[in-house]
Chain A
């Protein structure tokens, strides 16, 4: 067991994800320069930073994108190194990545896609009927029309629809660590609220789930309260703090942190 419930809703947090001294390259260009971070089960971490600071590189690397090569350092999940695992094996351990730019899969319906993903992750335990019922419930939460179940995955979806679809996938696949890469970008305020509420709902139902929320706006953090906030600059975390750090960034921008030393393990 990775946690003990100590009665009265007090939960002893246990290490879920640990990143030590992580260096990552793409096409021989180093993007991440020695990152350190620990996320315990049940925690919500926000990662903030300007465009191009390496947030997506970080997210993709955690999920095992083959183009992002780890030159040194270690990623552990449940205290086991996962550096060499394929994305599907990471998904089976409980990692999930909500994509900043979700891809379309023409000819494959949302329902079929989710059913097959569900089967791959959890085995074939649910009947098609129960699965559909569950899917509709989660769609309702996100105010996604049921007709989307028979549309092709992200094919012709608007930016906002794609983002909601990522959260729907999270809710259906039930990861233990949800890495959400800018789930808020391109959303109007109503959609943003829906997305945030869905994330919260999932979190409330599954208090041990950890969330790594990547964003460059403070706004979504009004709805989803982070335990920790980390600031990314040039492929490093240069500052970490509580929710107040996000507010400070909102006021002061990122400039005051530029040139700061990376936080060491």
Chain B
């Protein structure tokens, strides 16, 4: 019962680069870093931060784990590190350059904004080209800007938190991002303010061999809450692009942050992202991470529970489809305070030779009493060619912690297919139903519109799955 891969990546189109405002030369030098900083008119501390990060990037070795073979193939000299598609950022879609607006129209962003979003940021290549936030949220003091504007308009907040959660030294790709970052979102939610409708950012790579290095910083002040959603796509090219973001979340006392990602990169994108959150006393952080597409994804959203009663949750799904795709994803939770709780739910599907890896770390520091944690990893393999590995690590330095751990690897059983087919479903429909059911714990957490979209994407990906 071999599955046919549906090769049609529906977001694989690309636009002309004719009217671009700026495109760096290939490769990474000090001059490029300096010119990015200069073009953005940055304060001195940021220029220095970048240069220092560049040094770290040069010195740091590549990760020695994950898919080292694919990592070694990245040609850092062949990448464009900064590409500016448009001179300025707009508040009306009508003012966004036509080609770029067309792209976002095709991706359905303006429509989604009209229907159910409180704020939208649309990044095209290195810069955010469109940005909006509802007036009522502005009045409440909610800040939702692209990261560059955040730095310009709120330097005191940015300086206080920027790179405090993920220092440049963290890993080679965090260092790279720190040196050449551009775009991303900056969000600050004032105390006791609830942003009930999601804020969304959309990231689009258009240029071949482009490197996109957005930087996102979200601060939820005491007792506030916010839900941020990001989506990503890129055109299909024969040679590789690199997406390497850094995302830092700070949930202060009793605050709540939910961060949802639905990435659907084309198969030539390396997606190497560092995401980390800190949850203070009584705070809640949730990462919902949906990984589809890309050539290699390495991403392990982390949560440091540093205040008592903080709660962290990571729900991730990965779909690895085809022998040219590896989803190496997972989660990392650190319990550094008493009475903290966490849940990790990981679901991976591999098909048609695809490879899915779960890599997780659960750490309980000494002194973190009365910790409760549940880790559940399920892998579904749709055929014999596909591969699934699980690497759960636990470092427990305190006694009396309550940890539940469960890992399953399953196949679609013939008996189940027979059951569903006996009810009239074709083999393809039956498989899709089982896959959708498997993904349900993730999908049910999404806002309705995204759940529908995700199901549609899975369906497209599974099309032609006839045995």
* A interface, CB within 8 angstroms of B: 60, 63-67, 86-88, 90-92, 96-97, 99, 102-103, 105-108, 113, 116-118, 120-121, 152, 169, 173
Given A88-B424, A107-B437, A120 and B418 contact (CB-CB distance below 8 Å) = no
- The yes or no answer to B323 lying at the interface (CB within 8 A) is no
Known: A108-B434, A117-B424. 19 other contacts (CB 8 A): A87-B422, A91-B421, A91-B422, A91-B424, A92-B424, A99-B419, A102-B419, A105-B416, A105-B419, A106-B438, A108-B433, A108-B437, A113-B433, A117-B420, A120-B424, A120-B426, A120-B429, A152-B437, A173-B423
Evaluate contact between A66 and B414: CB separation under 8 angstroms: yes
> Does B440 count as interface, using CB distance less than 8 angstroms?
yes
A105 and B434 form a contact (CB under 8 A):
yes
Q: Which residues of A contact B420 (CB under 8 A)?
A: 105, 117
B74 at the binding interface (Cβ < 8 Å): no
With A105-B437, A107-B441, A152-B437 as given contacts, are A117 and B425 in contact (CB-CB < 8 Å)? Answer: yes
Pair B433/A105 contact, Cβ less than 8 Å: yes
Question: At the interface, yes or no: B415 with Cβ under 8 Å from chain A?
Answer: yes
Bound Cα distance from A154 to B372, whole angstroms? 30
> CA–CA, A113 to B423, complex, Å?
9
Contact partners of A91 in chain B: CB under 8 A = 421-424
Q: Which of B424, B433, B436 has the most CB of A within 10 A?
A: B424
When A and B form their complex, which 10 residue pairs have the shortest distance between CB atoms, in order from nearest? A107-B437, A107-B440, A120-B424, A117-B423, A87-B421, A108-B437, A121-B424, A91-B424, A103-B419, A88-B421
Residue interface mask B429-467, A partner, CB < 8 A = 1: 100011011111100000000000000000000000000
Residues of the B chain whose Cβ atoms lie less than 8 Å from the Cβ of A106: 437-438, 440
Complex interface: chain B residues within 8 A of A92 (CB):
424
Contact yes or no, A116 B425, CB < 8 A: yes
- CA of A64 to CA of B420 in the docked complex: distance in angstroms? 12
Give every chain B residue within 8 A of A63 (Cβ-Cβ).
418, 422
Closest beta carbon of chain B to A172's beta carbon, Å: 10
> A140 CA to B207 CA in the complex, in Å?
59
Instruction: Kindly report which residue of chain B lies nearest to residue A179, judged by CB atoms.
Output: B422
With beta carbons under 8 angstroms apart, the residue of B419, B427, B438 that contacts A107 is: B438
Report the minimal beta-carbon distance from B307 to chain A, rounded to whole angstroms: 34
Within the complex, the shortest CB–CB distance from B139 to chain A, in Å, comes to 40
Per-residue CB contact flags for chain B residues 391-429 toward chain A (1 = under 8 Å, else 0) read 000000000000000000000011110111111111101
The answer to whether B436 and A107 have CB atoms under 8 Å apart is: yes
Whether the pair A67, B440 counts as a contact (CB closer than 8 A) is no
- Collect the chain B residues with CB atoms within 8 Å of residue A67's CB: 414
- List, in ascending order, chain B residues with CB within 8 A of A169's CB: 423
Complex interface: chain B residues within 8 A of A65 (CB): 418
State the total of A-B contacts with C-beta under 8 angstroms.
Answer: 78
Q: Which chain A residue shows the least CB distance to B347?
A: A107
CA gap between A8 and B153 in the complex, in Å: 88
Contact B415 A103 (CB under 8 A): yes
- CB neighbours (8 Å) of A90 from chain B are 422
10 A-B contact pairs sorted by A residue (CB < 8 Å): A63-B422, A91-B424, A103-B419, A105-B434, A107-B438, A108-B436, A113-B423, A152-B437, A169-B423, A173-B424
CB distance from B315 to the nearest CB of A (A): 13
Contact bitstring B322-355, A, C-beta under 8 A = 1, else 0: 0000000000000000000000000000000000
Interface centre among A103, A105, A107, by most chain B C-beta atoms within 10 angstroms, is A107
CA distance A5 to B419 in the complex (A): 35
List, in ascending order, chain B residues with CB within 8 A of A116's CB. Answer: 425, 429, 433
Residue of A nearest to B444 (CB): A107
In the complex, what residues of A have CB within 8 A of residue B438's CB?
A: 106-107
Closest to A96 in B: B422
Query: How far, in angstroms, from A97 to B413 measured CA to CA in the complex?
Result: 18
Contacts of B419 in A (CB 8 A): 99, 102-103, 105
B150 CB → nearest A CB, Å: 39
Task: Determine the residue in chain B with the shortest Cβ distance to A153.
Answer: B437
A66 touches B433 (CB 8 A): no
Q: A97 to B422: give the CA distance in the assembly, Å.
A: 7
Question: Bound state CA distance, A121 and B433, in angstroms?
Answer: 16
A113→B439 CA distance, assembly (Å)? 15
A60 to B429, CA, bound (A): 20
Q: Mark each residue of chain B from 29 to 57: 1 if its CB lies under 8 Å from any CB of chain A, else 0.
A: 00000000000000000000000000000
Q: How far is the CA of A63 from the CA of B441 in the complex (A)?
A: 32
Residues on A with beta carbons closer than 8 Å to the beta carbon of B422 = 63-64, 87-88, 90-91, 96-97, 99
Most buried by B among A88, A92, A173: A88
**Closest residue of chain B to A65, judged by CB?**
B418
- What's the minimum C-beta distance from A250 to chain B, rounded to whole angstroms? 31
Docked pose: A48 CA to B420 CA in angstroms: 26
Chain B residue, CB-CB nearest to A119: B424
Question: A86: which of B416, B421, B440 is its contact (CB, 8 Å)?
Answer: B421
Binary contact track B270-299/A, C-beta < 8 Å → 1, others 0: 000000000000000000000000000000
Chain B residues near A113 (CB-CB < 8 A): 423, 433
CA of A103 to CA of B414, assembled, Å: 11
CB distance from A17 to the nearest CB of B (A): 16
Q: How far is the CA of A107 from the CA of B429 in the complex (A)?
A: 15
Determine the chain B residues whose CB is within 8 A of the CB of A117 once the complex forms. 420, 423-425
Contacts of A60 in B (CB 8 A): 418
How far is it, in angstroms, between the C-alpha of A19 and the C-alpha of B423 when the chains are bound?
A: 22
Q: Which B residues, 74 to 103, have Cβ-Cβ distances below 8 Å to chain A?
A: none
State A113–B421 Cα separation when bound (angstroms). Answer: 12
User: How long is the Cα–Cα vector from A148 to B392 in the complex, in angstroms?
Assistant: 35
List, in ascending order, chain B residues with CB within 8 A of A99's CB: 419, 422
Shortest CB-to-CB span from A128 to chain B, Å, is: 14
